[in-house]
Amino acid sequence: MPILKTFKGGVHPAEYKYLTDQAPIRIAKVPSQVIIPLQQHTGAPCEPLVAKGDKVRAGQKIGDAKAFVSSPIHASISGTVSKVAKHPHPLGQELPAIFIDSDREDNWMEGIGPVRDYSTRSPQELRGIVREAGIVGLGGAAFPTHVKLTPPADKKIDLVLLNGAECEPYLTSDHRIMVERPAEVAEGLRLIMRILGVSRALVGIERNKPDAIAALQREFSAEPFIEVVEMEVKYPQGSEKQLIKVLAGREVPSGGLPFDVGAVVQNVGTALAIYEAIALGKPLIERVITLSGDGIAHPSNLLVRIGTPLRDLIGECGGIVGDLRKVVVGGPMMGLAQYSLSIPVVKGISGVLMLSRDNVEIVEEGPCIRCGRCLAVCPMRLSPSLMADAVKARDIASAEACHLLDCMECGSCAFVCPAKRHMVQWIKYGKNEIAAKRQKK
């Protein structure tokens, strides 16, 4: 048996992927209304390009910003703009959003659909298409993809890594994309390589997805410079810095970026979106989402229009069952609990979990017992307990000195902590304090 690729630290939570890993992607119904937030990405929020009463078509650009680190948004259905107003966002705030009432005709912008010839397009033109399509990282961070595809002039990129790990429990949307649409994912990777001028790529997939591994190995069987690598099943195997270390043996320095070690990482869902934008002229107006957990009747993988309220998706999957205790957007390790089912799907959402009382543990935080388990599992080799203590004591300078900003908030420390300390929450708070302090300066 080959030695599987992995990293030091990490944890092995129960996977629960069996609920949906064999569930083919279904196309969700077009919703009667979508709520499209103007902030769905890292960077500057969009400004609306439409107003109440305007008629729009699916794929029409309805929001944009002049900032380089930003990403436009598009109408995901055809209909009428009913208002532009604040609405609950998956991040927990109320943020401006564009409300569109469906005309039930689902008319798309002209030109979207037929495969076009892109063989003579320059890397700059292809990058511009990606930007105009509003593509962001679909693994969760939602960083604008055109920015990742524009490395600084002094950074030589020689390697692309395609992330198919999908290490969070429950989530299987990337798995199903690789199994059902491997040719489009493969072509998306080739386009990424072409834009960056790179000839070598590695595809990392955890070994619990043998069908996905086989599908992509077939696609790249005649391309020796693209290798599909089988990785150990461990969380957070799919985090960017760990993936670079595991697959390429390169270590991103503290405070650094993948650019600094000559690498660019993209998610398999992002690769699919890049292909669709360049080959089909299709903006990012829908994505695959896993709906799972013991609180939903029929766990599923759905192709969902951006802006669809969560309640609509729950209805698509047979509704709520049992004693529902928590609704989480994302996975159970890094996801965020929601307080309303009117929350809309945004670009960065890869899953929605419906968890019953039996699967939700509510415990009081205890004192640190100095067991060192958080040190052993931290994939960034940090001291989570020490950082949390510093933030709790309002000693933000000491927390920053402990490399607080290098924490990826994966939750491995909290997962193994016998005292159930809320370390991730304190670290998030500390990061917000640092950001606020820098903004004042």
Q: Tell me the pLDDT tens digit for each residue of 181-213.
A: 999 999 999 999 999 999 999 999 999 999 999
pLDDT band at 1 (very low <50, low <70, confident <90, very high): very low
pLDDT in the model for residue 308: 98
Mean pLDDT in residue range 50-65: 98
Task: For 59, list phi and psi in degrees, rounded to 5.
Answer: 95, -5
pLDDT in the model for residue 247: 93
Q: What whole-number distance in Å separates Cα of residue 287 and Cα of residue 192?
A: 19
pLDDT in the model for residue 437: 85
Angle CA(36)–CA(42)–CA(44) in degrees, nearest 5?
75
pTM passes above 0.85:
yes
Q: What whole-number distance in Å separates Cα of residue 192 and Cα of residue 90?
A: 29
pLDDT in the model for residue 333: 94
Cβ–Cβ contacts within 10 Å for residue 360, how many? 16
Q: Which residues pair with 329 in a beta bridge?
A: 336, 352
Q: pLDDT over 70 for what percent of the chain? A: 99
170 backbone φψ class: left, alpha, beta (φ>0; ψ -120 to 50): left
Tokens for 221? Answer: 């069987």
pLDDT at 59 exceeding the cut of 70: yes
pLDDT band at 3 (very low <50, low <70, confident <90, very high): low
Least confident of 93-102, 218-227, 316-325: 316-325
Q: What whole-number distance in Å separates Cα of residue 3 and Cα of residue 119?
A: 39
Place of tokens 């969700």: 28
Q: Tell me if 212 sits within 8 A of 171, measured CB to CB.
A: no
What does the pLDDT look like over 266-297, one tens digit per residue?
A: 999 999 999 999 999 999 999 999 999 999 99
Antiparallel, parallel or unpaired: β 336-337 and 324-329:
antiparallel
Q: 3-class DSSP state for residue 243?
A: helix
What does the pLDDT look like over 344-369, one tens digit per residue?
A: 999 999 999 999 877 777 778 899 99
pLDDT in the model for residue 365: 87
Q: What whole-number distance in Å separates Cα of residue 131 and Cα of residue 61?
A: 12
Place of tokens 């205790």: 325
What does the pLDDT look like over 64-94, one tens digit per residue?
A: 999 999 999 999 999 999 999 999 999 888 9
Place of tokens 């569109």: 100
First to last CA, the chain: 55
Residues 6+ positions from 18 with CB-CB distance below 8 Å: none
Query: What residue ranges define each of the domains in the chain, with the CATH number in brackets?
Result: 119-280 (3.40.50.11540), 373-440 (no CATH)
236: preceding bond cis by omega (within 30 degrees): yes
pLDDT in the model for residue 438: 84
Angle CA(193)–CA(305)–CA(196) in degrees, nearest 5?
10
pLDDT band at 2 (very low <50, low <70, confident <90, very high): low
What does the pLDDT look like over 163-174, one tens digit per residue?
A: 999 999 999 999
What DSSP assignment string belongs to 86-141? EEE-TTSSEEEEEEEEE-SS-PBPTT-SS----TT--HHHHHHHHHHTT-B-TTTT
